[in-house]
Amino acid sequence: MVEVSNFQNKALEAQQVSREKEVTSLRQQLLDIQTQSDEKAIIGKLHHHIVALQVSEGTAVRKLEAATTKIRQLEAQLLRMDKQLDEKGQSLYHCQVDSRNRSRHLRLTIQELRRQYSGTAPLADLEKFSKVMMQLKQDKEKMEMEMRVVKHEREQVSNQLLELEVKHQGLQELIQTLKDSRGAAKVAEWHAKMQEVRLQDLRLNRQISRLQQEMKYQENLNSSHEQTISNLEKENVHISRQAEERQLLWEHREAELERMIDSLERQQKQMADAAMKFEEATGSLPDPSLPVASQLEHAIRTIKIHIKTILDFKEEKKDYEKRLTEADQKLKETEANLLTRDKIINELRLRLPASSDRDEVIKDGMSAGVAFKEIEESCEHKQALKVAQTQIEGLQTRIQQKEDSLQKYMDLLDRSRQESADESKKYMQEIHQLQVKLHAQSDLAFNKFKKAAMVGINVFMNDIQKTLR
């Protein structure tokens, strides 16, 4: 490769040397020809001058081409800069619209939060109240535990007292029997009493077993009801979360619709401006062949028609804006109603533990009254029977109360679901009506613009035909 390049370089140098020799020989011949006569000398000078002019013309043409290419590049750069400026202006306008919508949405959210948390206690007071409530609950549990211990000890003492009384009575009867001469009759009487007591004991044991089975059944039923209540509470929380998600979706949809309405209004305004400009340029001009009075009358009539159309459009726009504000107000009212219903449901759910505590207090009071009666009675089996009956009655009352509260919660949930569904359906219908009206208005403006354009084109074609004639 190096040898080939060297050979080519040497060949080029040889060609350059031969060309320079030819040029020098031609110049020498030209000088010889010029020295032969004056005319040939003048011709040589003119030839030199022509060659110089050709060279200067070539340089000027090259400079002109470079200048034109530079001008084209600058024009293209200017067009690109104009396009970028338009895009930046458009993006700035979109950012302004988006920021305005976001500020409106944030303002509405702040108002809703203020309305929702108005009248609530400060966090410090709530913390103090919660600490006091926890302390009271702990004290209550401690007192209940001590009360149960004392109650158990009291029952043991009362049982021991009854046993001692029975033993004392038996000893007294035994002493009297030993002292009396009718011992056999007393023994037979005791045997009959023992059989009667055994039969009564068997009956009471069967009744106690039956009551224990009923109590287990009631406890199972109570646990199933508590499970149902917990499931309903979970469902309520799930429904409230779904409602919040739907509310967020509705707010997002509302923001999108507002942006859509803004864009449609902007397009409508642009189309109306273009139509007005086009009508001012072409359609509003009367026929120049008519007399001046008829031309003025036609112009005045056209202006009146346009003014009337503009006023009608303004009235329709005000009506649509009024309806839109009414729809927004109704939406806010429905959201406020939903918030109040959520508060009511939370309050009812918070009241449920209080009702169960009340039931426990009532049950403790009834069991205390039964224990007081048991001291007065002498039969241990009657005592157990009474306690079982009171416990069953307390469980039945608690189950009934929980069933009533559960039914109340279910009714409230069904009512709130129905109302939210009706309100959302009504809101979607109103949005659909507003969209239909906006589309109709934009179609009407487009038709007017189309008619004006056709009229302008017809007028322009008539003018061209007249000029050709």
pLDDT greater than 70 at residue 333: yes
Whether the pLDDT of residue 179 is over 50: the answer is yes
Q: What is the pLDDT of residue 288?
A: 66
Output phi, psi for 288, to 5 deg. Answer: -70, -15
Determine the average pLDDT of the residues in 227-252.
Answer: 80
- What is residue 67's predicted lDDT score, i.e. its pLDDT? 85
- φ, ψ of residue 115 to 5 degrees: the values are -65, -35
Rounded to whole angstroms, how far apart are CA atoms 447 and 271? 10
CB-based contacts of 302, cutoff 8 Å, min separation 6: 284, 286
Q: Which stretches within 287-379 are classed as H helix?
A: 292-376
Report the run of H or E that residue 272 belongs to, with start and end.
helix 183-278
SS3 43: helix
Q: What is the pTM of this model?
A: 0.26
Which region among 166-170, 201-205, 206-210, 379-383 has the lowest average model confidence (pLDDT)? 379-383
Residues 6 or more apart from 27 whose CB is under 8 A from it? none
Residue-level pLDDT at 373: 44
The three-class DSSP label of residue 454 is helix
Structure tokens at 287: 């026929």
Q: What percent of the chain has pLDDT over 90?
A: 1
H/E segment holding residue 155 = helix 123-179
- Contact assessment for residue 406 and residue 229, using Cβ atoms and an 8 Å cutoff: yes
* CA pair distance 256, 264, nearest whole angstrom: 12
> Which of the 8 DSSP states describes residue 118?
T
Report, as an integer, the average pLDDT of 217-244: 81
Is the per-residue pLDDT at 380 higher than 60? Answer: no
CB 327 within 8 A of CB 319: no
Separation between Cα atoms, residue 402 and residue 76, nearest integer Å: 82
Examine the pLDDT at 335 and tell me if it is beyond 80.
no
Question: Where residue 376 falls among pLDDT bands split at 50, 70, 90?
Answer: very low
- pLDDT for residue 104 is more than 80: yes
Q: How many CA atoms lie within 13 A of 309 on its CB side?
A: 13
- Which of 138-152, 183-197, 413-427 has the highest average model confidence (pLDDT)? 138-152
CA gap 459, 455 in Å, rounded: 6
- Look at residue 256 and tell me whether its pLDDT is greater than 70: yes
pLDDT tens, 191-218?
677 777 777 777 787 888 888 888 888 8
Residue 354 has pLDDT above 60, yes or no: no
**Cα 215 from Cα 222, distance rounded (Å):** 10
Q: How far is CA 45 from CA 30, 39, 442, in A?
A: 11, 10, 80
Average pLDDT over residues 341-369: 52
pLDDT category, 370, cuts 50, 70, 90? very low
From CA 271, how far away is CA 446, in angstroms rounded? 7
Higher-pLDDT residue of 7 and 221 is 221
| CA-wise closest residue to 365 among 384, 391, 346, 388 | 391
Residues whose CB falls within 8 Å of the CB of residue 333, separated by 6 or more in sequence, listed in order: none
- Of all residues in the chain, the percent with pLDDT exceeding 70 is 67
DSSP string, 204-247: HHHHHHHHHHHHHHHHHHHHHHHHHHHHHHHHHHHHHHHHHHHH
pLDDT digits (tens, 9 = 90+) for 384-410: 556 656 666 766 676 677 677 667 767
Spatial neighbors of 284 by CB under 8 A, at least 6 apart, are 299, 302, 303, 306
What letter would DSSP give residue 180? S
Provide CB contacts within 8 A for 87, sequence distance 6+: none
pLDDT for position 269: 76
Round to whole Å and give the CA distance between 326 and 333. Answer: 10
Answer yes or no: is pLDDT of 26 > 80: no
**Cβ-based neighbours of 9, under 8 Å, separated by 6 or more:** none
How much is the CA Rg of the chain, to the nearest whole Å? 54
How far is C-alpha 328 from the chain's CA centre? 17
Distance CA 397, CA 391 (A): 10
Q: Which residues contact 187 (CB under 8 A, 6 or more apart)?
A: 177
Please state the φ and ψ torsions of residue 430, each to the nearest 5 degrees: -65, -40
CA distance 419 to 337: 10
User: Which pLDDT belongs to residue 146?
Assistant: 92
Mean of pLDDT values over 35-42: 69
Distances (CA, A) of 284 to 37, 55, 145, 428, 467: 83, 61, 98, 42, 20
- Of the given ranges (231-235, 252-256, 353-357), which has the lowest mean pLDDT? 353-357
Mean pLDDT along residues 108-123:
71
The confidence band for 35, taking pLDDT boundaries of 50, 70 and 90, is low
C-alpha span between 219 and 217 (Å, rounded): 5
Least confident of 13-17, 22-26, 295-299: 295-299
Tell me which of 250 and 3 has the higher pLDDT: 250
H or E segment and range at residue 100: helix 38-116
Region 51-80 average pLDDT: 83
Helical H segments across 279-291, by residue range: none
What average pLDDT does the chain have? 73
